[in-house]
Amino acid sequence: MATGKEDKIDATQNLTRVTSEFKGVNHLAWGTQASESDDDPRRDGAAAWGNIDDEVADSKLREACGVFGCVLAKDAPLDTVSIAQVIYLGLVALQHRGQECAGIVTSEGRGTRKFHYYKGEGLVASIFTDEQITKLKGSIGIGHSRYSTAGGRDPCNTQPFMVHTRHGPLAIAHNGELINAVALRKTVLDRGVGLSTCSDSELITQMLSLTPPRGEKHGPDWGARIRHLMEATPTAYSLALLHEDKIYGVRDPFGNRPLCIGRLMSLDAKSGGAESPKSLGWILSSESCAFQSVGAMLIREVYPGEIVELGPYGVRSLDLVPRPKPPLSEAAGLPDETDHPSLREAPPSAFCIFEYVYFARADSIYEGQQVYSVRKRCGRQLAIEAPVDADIISTVPESATPAAMGFALQCGLPYVEVLCRNRYVGRSFIQPDTRSRQLAVAKKFGALTENLVGRRVVLVDDSIVRGTTVGPIIRLLRQAGAREVHIRIASPPILHPCYMGINIPTRGELIANNKPLEELTSFIGADSLAYLSIEGLVKAVSEGVAVKNGTSSGYCTACLDGKYPVHLEW
């Protein structure tokens, strides 16, 4: 249920309500503190998935937010475009990136002293009503949908964050997690700035509110402020910042989280709704899948390290912040006397490879290639690396469907559906009885018996995390008459935690760390089990790259091989 914020702060009743017009009240003052059980990550996850069954949700990785922003062009007719509605539709399209809570902040542009905003918990469609959308006036705004990592699930962490700076209100939407948040937090506190949450998004907000080291002679220099932040923290973040009549789009120097720019098009009635070339404004989005639903087209991705400015007159690139060079101890083969930064190579970019594997919507485009095609290539590569004598290829609907199709194409076997998914499963009880726990997967999936009786089935999935779902699914298929069930995973085993904003269970909870392949195969009850190799995954991803983002196309594979893009200091 939505717990939308309206009216004004009622401190006496300690309610989770906030003003819908931001006029300098510290928004972190609202809400009650989360109970201890709210901080339990497992409970977090279950609640975050809304109507998705706990057991199934728990077996997947979770993305940690979608950001979206829109600014109308100077001559765009305000009566034909509702900025709040565009942002709302954008957030609905990015819902897969975070289902815990969402918010929209709009502004009437230059010289404004207040924002309009509305935030709530739950799915985007359950938070915003027509009435709230109507109240979110303005020609510019940003939005955010969230799944919590740093900062936990306290409602006060709902974004966008807002603060009053010396130069007026500033709002920020953040996807990612700062790898050096602890050190940065100390820096901010040392400068006498108080922090109200554990959220690194608040940290970013406060860092940006500080005057940059060289000062500002002619008003706020947001380019310099953002650069200062980026030099202090190399990864992981994609940001949308709203100030006056501009939105600043920022992607960290490693390009770990995605961000792209689009053009909002007028819909020409004469051509039956087809897009005409006239620009109504500019969009910033975590993924390009949101563009179609708001009538926009992809211009390009924001480059790793780039700061872009979107305003009523268009888009411009303000700066490109380089990746920091590694310390000498990590630059292999260099003798001490050559310890000069200019002699060391900057590391490659580190775009999260799991965006391709699982997080992104299949119709999104990264590096000039559609995610769907990459997943299909992963399936093909998997069939080359781990062929199996079988009758049909299938999948656990739906995220691994393209990989299963690629697998089927490569080995020349038919792709046949064997599972029917119930989309309307409610949440399980927090402490289900044994019988309900046993039925958790059967509640979610039904077997298409006639498609699998007496057949040898290859079931392709995109990942195994805790290994809680795959075993019951195999049992379901066997009970329905499958002769053999072979599991093929279109990504390598997940062995390490992620510190860049993806909620991965602890090392101990990752099933691939607990059981060698043979043991795991018999534990889940499969006839055989194989994963895609890391080299195979990188090959499948790199093959179709059509647009290089800046200087290199590198990928983060840290959860697979433990090689983090930067040195971890703890």
Q: State how far the Cα of 548 lies from the Cα of 63, in Å rounded to an integer.
A: 24
Please give the distance of CA 284 from its chain centroid, rounded to a whole number.
14
Give strand pairing partners of 459.
Answer: 394, 487
CB of 352 to ligand SF4, least distance (A): 3
Q: Does 352 bind ligand SF4 (CB under 6 A)?
A: yes
Q: Does 237 bind ligand SF4 (CB under 6 A)?
A: no
User: What single string gives the DSSP state of each residue in 90-135?
Assistant: HHHHTGGG--SEEEEEEE--TT---EEEEEEES-HHHH--HHHHHH
Q: State how far the Cα of 351 lies from the Cα of 304, in Å rounded to an integer.
A: 9
For ligand SF4, the closer of residues 15 and 534 by Cβ is 534
Q: Does 256 bind ligand SF4 (CB under 6 A)?
A: yes
Q: What is the DSSP letter of 395?
A: E
CB of 294 to ligand SF4, least distance (A): 27
Nearest to 71 by CA among 307, 333, 372, 285: 285
| Binding test (CB under 6 A) with ligand SF4, winner from 68, 303, 354, 366 | 354
Contact 179, 148 (CB under 8 A): no
**Residue 461 annotated in ligand binding:** yes
Coil, strand or helix at 217: coil
For ligand SF4, the closer of residues 85 and 552 by Cβ is 552
- Which residues make Cβ contacts (< 8 Å) with residue 174, sequence separation at least 6? 65, 67, 144, 159, 161, 200, 201, 204, 237, 238, 239
CB of 252 to ligand SF4, least distance (A): 11
**Residue 462 annotated in ligand binding:** yes
For ligand SF4, the closer of residues 64 and 315 by Cβ is 64
For ligand SF4, the closer of residues 74 and 563 by Cβ is 563
**Residue 399 annotated in ligand binding:** yes
Count of beta carbons in the 10 Å neighbourhood of residue 438: 12
Exposed, middle or buried by CB within 10 Å (0-12, 13-18, 19+), for 218?
exposed
| Catalytic residue selected from 65, 70, 260, 411 | 65
CB of 127 to ligand SF4, least distance (A): 27
For ligand SF4, the closer of residues 72 and 500 by Cβ is 500
CB of 563 to ligand SF4, least distance (A): 9
User: What single string gives the DSSP state of each residue in 489-541?
Assistant: ESSPPP-S---SS-B---GGG-HHHHS-HHHHHHHHT-SEEEE--HHHHHHHH
Nearest to 188 by CA among 174, 201, 170: 201
198 annotated active-site: no
For ligand SF4, the closer of residues 273 and 562 by Cβ is 562
Taking CB under 6 A as the criterion, which residues in 448-507 touch ligand SF4? 498, 500, 502
Q: Does 170 bind ligand SF4 (CB under 6 A)?
A: no
**Residue 533 annotated in ligand binding:** no
CB of 147 to ligand SF4, least distance (A): 13
| Binding test (CB under 6 A) with ligand SF4, winner from 28, 87, 289, 353 | 353
User: Catalytic site residues?
Assistant: 65
Binding site for Mg(2+), by residue number, is 399, 461-462
Q: Which residues bind ligand SF4 (CB under 6 A)?
A: 256, 352-354, 498, 500, 502, 556-559
Binding site, by residue number, is 352, 399, 461-462, 498, 556, 559
Binding site for [4Fe-4S] cluster, by residue number, is 352, 498, 556, 559
